[in-house]
Structure 1
Amino acid sequence: MNKSSLIFVIALLSASVATAQSTAPQYGQCGGQGWSGATTCPSGWSCKYSNDYYSQCLPGAASTTTSAGGGGGTTTTTGGGGGGTSTSTAAGGSSTLAPGYSFIRAVEAPNFHKYLQSEVLNTASDAVLGEPGNAAQFQITGGQLIQNAAGKNLYAIVEPLVDTTVKKLKVTWSTTPATSGTFVFSGDTVEWSNPTITRPQNNAWLICPDAAGHLDLYVNLGPYSYQTPAGCADETIHAYTGATATA
């Protein structure tokens, strides 16, 4: 092989490698703040926004959604490369994730892959973990954790701290936004903070069954996995953007 032919083959191989690296795998990450990997999805798949830090290749063609802009107006994002808050509506408890939403689930025993939802589905009731078939869908916008409950917004409310000896604060759902505390996604992990409350870890949660066996969600005010209140389990809870909620 002469030198010219060798150079041509090397260039062809390099182009093939670059093309392969420019396409994310099915269900792989394709966008988000700080993401430097592939942003193109395979044919028949599109890059769907989950949160500011994570977008994922999911089945289906790209769709255009109206998103909240940073200056009081609106911007339009197509497919979701890692920005914007989708205004698409999903049915609460749907097994198919809507663009711009995330499931939220625990990833540790004894509540592995239990999903966040309302104790009484789609209503302003206690925040609990439950089975994948009833998984609700969520956005975090403006510090509010918002559940799409059959097309209506429910807001996560953390009970106020009235006794400094208390080690946990219960989370419920309300039809009106929270007036204190801030929810954020840190990567895919859900955190809650309040400037008047000091916590060792903002991503520490507790799951404490009630008398009826419902897995109630609490903010953990103590150290994670240490001095855990009796009957409770330490958990972190995470966004999950697979097409369906899976066990």
Structure 2
Amino acid sequence: MAVKAVILDVDGTLMDTNYLHTEAWWRAFEEVGQRAPRAAIHKEVGKGSDLLVPEFVEGEEAQGKVSDLHGEQYMAMQEYGLPLPGAKELVAALVERGYGVWFATSAEPQELEHHMQLLEAEGRIQGVVSSGDVENSKPAPDLFQEALDRAGVAADEAVAVGDSIWDVQAAKAANIRTIGVLSGGAYDEEALKVAGAVAVYDNCAALLESGFPEEE
């Protein structure tokens, strides 16, 4: 069936922000006295914070603090989060070719505003689904299912793109064909394919050159 909607992850897929989030989480964990290796944190970026935090922080009080601390730390570094190669061009090309483009992201509203501006996506894409719009965050399928519902398309009329196994698992659970990109830095081609990606590209630039979404 022909593709009508393209659902894009943001952090690590369109925006070079995964390492900023990793550092922000590391600093937040430090502030509550619970140090974690940055490499381990990086692997968890892409999950909802409700699932990420308990992987590294014990105690309800500390867990309750770290999300706010992460937000403060990340916002101080946000200016360094820039579009990844081909990201703006991919979004523009998909819109111009008549596809419904949706962002499915765990980004906070203030982060999303920054991303939308730099990606030149405001007023161009059909919409954004964030973790605040659904009951369960990635790797649950809720974000992608909500995007399908809002777009008014069936799963086989959509394709998703993400950089982490959490993106791929979530989209696959919603029965959406999913493409992986390596631009987030945490996962290699094999890991993304094991998670369920049908193809993997270096970044959005390579994906656009492939003829996506007609050909991958």
Fold match, TM over 0.5? no
- Which structure's residues are more often strand, by fraction? 1
TM-score (norm 2): 0.29
Structure 1 or 2, whichever has the larger Rg, is 1
Query: TM-score when scaled to structure 1?
Result: 0.26
Greater relative contact order structure (CA < 8 Å, 6+ sep): 2
Larger helix proportion, structure 1 or 2?
2
